[in-house]
Amino acid sequence: MDRIAIIGGAQLNGTIPVSGAKNSAIKLMAASLLTDEPLRLTNMPRLADTRFLGKLLTRLGVQVTESDGPDGQQTLLHAPEITSGFAPYDLVRQMRASFNVLGPLVARSGQAKVSLPGGCTIGARPVDLHLQAIEALGAKIDLHEGYVYAQAPRGLKGAEIRFPFVSVGATEHAMLAAVLADGVSVIHNAACEPELVDLQECLNAMGAKVEGAGTPTVTITGVPRLHGATHAVIPDRIEMGTYAVAAAMAGGEVRLSNARPGLIDALLDKLKEAGAGVEETADGCIIRRNGQRLSAVDIETAPFPGFATDLQAQFMALMTTAKGESRIRETIFENRFMHAPELMRLGADISVSGGEARVRGVERLEGAEVMATDLRASVSLVIAGLVARGETTVSRIYHLDRGFERLEEKLGACGAQVRRIKGDGEAEL
Ligand code: EPZ
């Protein structure tokens, strides 16, 4: 398995272009199941997760073609017919978002057999709200031997869907299923993440009638069929936030381009509060820190527009060398502090109790061998490695490859000393 080695101490100076958002791209790819015409996605990130979903979609009957055109990286997805409604455990277990093929499959072909995803390292992550939504839309749902069997031979019907709490995946899943339902569906207590707005724009470009994404109430007027479209994937706010934190950690001046303002305001506010220089630009932001030590600030994760859980590990890494004590509360996932013991191997002073971590800033981190436990945890270790004395090696970076495109190249172009050490054989996802 590959590892990443970082020699700490270099400041970051330069420009980092932000890629298309992984967490949007994989839901948009699933939307290709809804039409027999081609869906062209531009600004596509090339990641292990997008390749992986491409593999699953191919098994279901989607022709997936990647190309690099004048508009950058594109993926063309074309499902003239659904050749299989079966998503096996092997594939869904490895990437939970694969579960979101269930709704589009039932919506288009009236049936699906999709594996339950099981737990994962950041929490139990059940899919009860997804099933509640698909059932409300009139599908008959049965669970047997780890599989969801969903049937709606006469098609789905518009419905009122009320989520008891906010779920990004369940909101997206409900939207993906309801676009072809007969009648009007209203999703109450919908997630408001920018990726939902991106999905709405793509579905509407395909002929759907979706309104309200980005607010807690989404209304979908079902249409009998969707057509092909071209859609540009929204910039990755988590990648943008990650490099913003990396720049604040290493010092120097980094411009994040090819993004949008307003995607990571909660993080930028906290970076300012900690003492970093933050300047918003038309297509991203500039982050500066010249010499002065940052101050500890507290964060609490929350659904958008709050502080993203997917940036919590990175912010914890930042706080390990800040002046004072920072309290980090995780409210979205119950087990998302697996990076804390790894950061402690680098000399961080962290104690975790329940959903709260206390980070007492130290003057210096020391390079060490550490292990990635999930996608965002792995990049937090790279960020810490940027300032740790000596060399830090991060193993199990197949987690990192799921969600960060050309990380070594992007950080290296700004002066970081980061290299990939090739292992023996390709890692499984
Ligand atoms: C999405 O996960 C993202 N993944 C996550 O990013 C992100 O952390 C999360 O949203 C929150 O922003 C993708 O988009 C692929 P949720 P999702 O449903 O949709 C509970 C990354 O690193 N819940 O909003 O799975 C759930 O267990 C990943 O890129 C239920 O109880 O998140 C969690 O505690 C990690 N029942 C909470 O809701 C359900 O049916 C919010 O989860 C669904 C969710």
Looking at residue 385, its pLDDT comes to: 98
Give yes or no for a contact between 163 and 129, defined as CB atoms under 8 angstroms apart: yes
pLDDT at 427 over 60: no
Residue (of 97, 79, 88) closest to 173 by Cα position = 97
Where do the structural domains in the chain lie, given as residue ranges?
A: 3-19+235-428, 22-232
How many Å lie between the centroid of ligand 1 and the Cα of residue 366?
33
Looking at residue 426, its pLDDT comes to: 44
- Superfamily classification of domain 22-232: Enolpyruvate transferase domain (3.65.10.10)
pLDDT, tens digit, 9 for 90 and up, residues 193-206: 999 999 999 999 99
Label residue 425 by pLDDT band (50, 70, 90). very low
332 CA: nearest ligand 1 atom: 34
Residues 6 or more apart in contact with residue 63 via CB below 8 angstroms: 76, 77, 78, 79, 80
Among all chains, which residue has been given the structure tokens 């940052």? 294
Neighbours of 415 (CB within 10 A): 15
Looking at residue 125, its pLDDT comes to: 85
The values of phi and psi at residue 93, to 5°, are -60, -35
pLDDT, tens digit, 9 for 90 and up, residues 259-293: 988 999 999 999 999 999 999 999 999 999 988 99
pLDDT, tens digit, 9 for 90 and up, residues 212-260: 999 999 999 999 999 999 999 999 999 999 999 999 999 999 999 999 8
- Which structure tokens are listed for 177? 């299923």
pLDDT, tens digit, 9 for 90 and up, residues 307-333: 999 999 999 999 999 999 999 999 999
pLDDT at 362 over 50: yes
Cβ burial, residue 160 (10 Å; 0-12/13-18/19+): exposed
165 CA: nearest ligand 1 atom: 38
- For the segment 356-361, the average pLDDT, to the nearest whole number, is 98
Residue nearest ligand 1's atom 43 by CA: 127
Residue nearest ligand 1's atom 26 by CA: 125
Residue nearest ligand 1's atom 31 by CA: 126
Residue nearest ligand 1's atom 16 by CA: 167
- Which structure tokens are listed for 240? 């943008």
Looking at residue 376, its pLDDT comes to: 94
Report which secondary-structure segment, H or E, holds 342: helix 339-345
How many Å lie between the centroid of ligand 1 and the Cα of residue 125?
7
Residue 288, amino acid: R
The single-letter DSSP state of residue 390 is: S
23 CA: nearest ligand 1 atom: 14
What share of the chain has pLDDT > 90, as a percent?
A: 90
Q: Which residues line ligand 1 (CB under 6 A)?
A: 23, 26, 97, 123, 125-130, 167-170, 191, 309-310, 332-333, 375-376, 403
How many Å lie between the centroid of ligand 1 and the Cα of residue 169?
6
The values of phi and psi at residue 151, to 5°, are -135, 135
pLDDT at 363 over 90: yes
Looking at residue 93, its pLDDT comes to: 87
Looking at residue 335, its pLDDT comes to: 86
Q: How many helices (H) and strands (E) does the chain have?
A: 14, 24
Taking each helix axis from N to C end, the angle separating 48-60 and 22-31, rounded to the nearest 10 degrees, works out to 10
Cα-based distances in Å from 267 to 64, 250, 348, 370: 35, 17, 21, 26
Label residue 428 by pLDDT band (50, 70, 90). very low
Question: Mean pLDDT, the chain, as a whole number?
Answer: 95
Taking each helix axis from N to C end, the angle separating 22-31 and 237-250, rounded to the nearest 10 degrees, works out to 170
- For the segment 24-31, the average pLDDT, to the nearest whole number, is 98
Cα-based distances in Å from 36 to 226, 245, 328, 338: 8, 42, 47, 43
Residue 424, amino acid: D
Residue nearest ligand 1's atom 21 by CA: 310
How many Å lie between the centroid of ligand 1 and the Cα of residue 38?
29
Cα-based distances in Å from 376 to 2, 400, 405: 17, 7, 13
Angstrom distance (rounded) from CA 110 to CA 120: 29
46 compared with 71, residue with greater pLDDT: 46
User: Taking the domain 3-19+235-428, which CATH number applies?
Assistant: 3.65.10.10
Angstrom distance (rounded) from CA 297 to CA 323: 9
Looking at residue 424, its pLDDT comes to: 61
Residue 314, amino acid: Q
To the query of whether residue 192 is one of the catalytic residues in this protein, the response is: no
pLDDT, tens digit, 9 for 90 and up, residues 76-135: 999 999 999 999 999 898 899 999 999 999 999 999 999 999 777 777 789 999 999 999
Q: Do domains 3-19+235-428 and 22-232 have the same CATH topology?
A: yes
Looking at residue 186, its pLDDT comes to: 98
Q: What is the residue-wise DSSP string for 191-249?
A: ---HHHHHHHHHHHHTT-EEE-BTBSEEEEE--S----EEEEPPB-HHHHHHHHHHHHH
Angstrom distance (rounded) from CA 10 to CA 382: 13
pLDDT at 190 over 80: yes
pTM surpassing 0.85? yes
pLDDT at 56 over 50: yes
Looking at residue 147, its pLDDT comes to: 96
pLDDT, tens digit, 9 for 90 and up, residues 235-245: 999 999 999 99
